[in-house]
Amino acid sequence: MKRLILAATLFLLTGAVAISGETIEKVFKTSPDKLLSMDLSAGGSIYVYGWDKDEIKVVVFIDGRDIDNVKTEFEETAAGLEIACRYGKHYRDHSNKIEFEVKVPQKYNLELDTQGGSITVEHLEGDMRGRTAGGNLELVDSHGAFDFQTNGGNINCERLTGRADLKTNGGNITCSDSQLEGEARTGGGRVWLDNVTGDFDATSSGGDVVYASAEAKAMSVSDDVIHIRTMGGDIDVDDAPQGADLHTNGGDITVHSADKFVKALTNGGDITIEQVDGSVEAHTNGGDITIKLAQGLTGDDHDIEISSNSGDIKLLVPEDFSAKYEIELAFTRDSRQDYRIISDFELKLEKSDEWDYDHGSPRKYIYGHGESKDAASLIRVRTINGNVTIKKI
In-domain check, residue 104: yes
CA 128/CA 35 separation, integer angstroms: 9
CA 243/CA 318 separation, integer angstroms: 20
Q: Domain range spanning residue 17?
A: 1-122
Contact 36, 83 (CB under 8 A): yes
In-domain check, residue 315: no
Contact 148, 139 (CB under 8 A): yes
Closest C-alpha to 197, from 229, 165, 174, 175:
175
> What type of residue sits at position 75?
E
In-domain check, residue 66: yes
Structural domain count of the chain: 1
Q: What is the pLDDT of residue 218?
A: 29
What is the chain's mean pLDDT, rounded? 86
Q: Which residues pair with 167 in a beta bridge?
A: 149, 185
SS3 (DSSP) at 132: strand
Phi/psi for 60 (5° steps) reads -115, 130
In-domain check, residue 154: no
In-domain check, residue 268: no
Per-residue pLDDT tens for 96-111?
789 999 999 999 999 9
In-domain check, residue 73: yes
Contact 219, 238 (CB under 8 A): no
CA 250/CA 138 separation, integer angstroms: 30
Per-residue pLDDT tens for 177-218?
999 999 999 987 888 888 888 888 888 887 788 877 533 332
Phi/psi for 27 (5° steps) reads -125, 135
* Alpha-helical runs (H) found in the chain: 8-14, 214-219
Query: b/e map of 84-107 (b: 16 or more CB within 10 Å)?
Result: bbebeeeeeeeebebbbbbbbbbe
Per-residue pLDDT tens for 303-326?
999 999 999 999 999 988 889 999
Answer whether residue 167 shows pLDDT above 70: yes
CA 174/CA 160 separation, integer angstroms: 12
CA 101/CA 87 separation, integer angstroms: 19
- Cα→Cα distances 108→33, 80, 100, 121, 182, Å: 5, 9, 17, 11, 21
Q: What is the pLDDT of residue 93?
A: 52
Q: Considering the entire predicted model, what is its pTM? A: 0.71
| Residues 6+ away with beta carbon under 8 Å from 20 | none
Per-residue pLDDT tens for 21-76?
478 899 999 999 999 999 999 889 999 999 999 999 999 998 876 677 788 999 99
In-domain check, residue 237: no
In-domain check, residue 174: no
**Torsion angle of alpha carbons 304, 308, 314, 316, nearest 10°?**
-10
Contact 237, 218 (CB under 8 A): no
pLDDT category of residue 16 using cuts at 50, 70 and 90 = very low
Answer whether residue 286 shows pLDDT above 90: no
- Cα→Cα distances 343→46, 248, 328, 338, 390, Å: 62, 30, 13, 16, 5
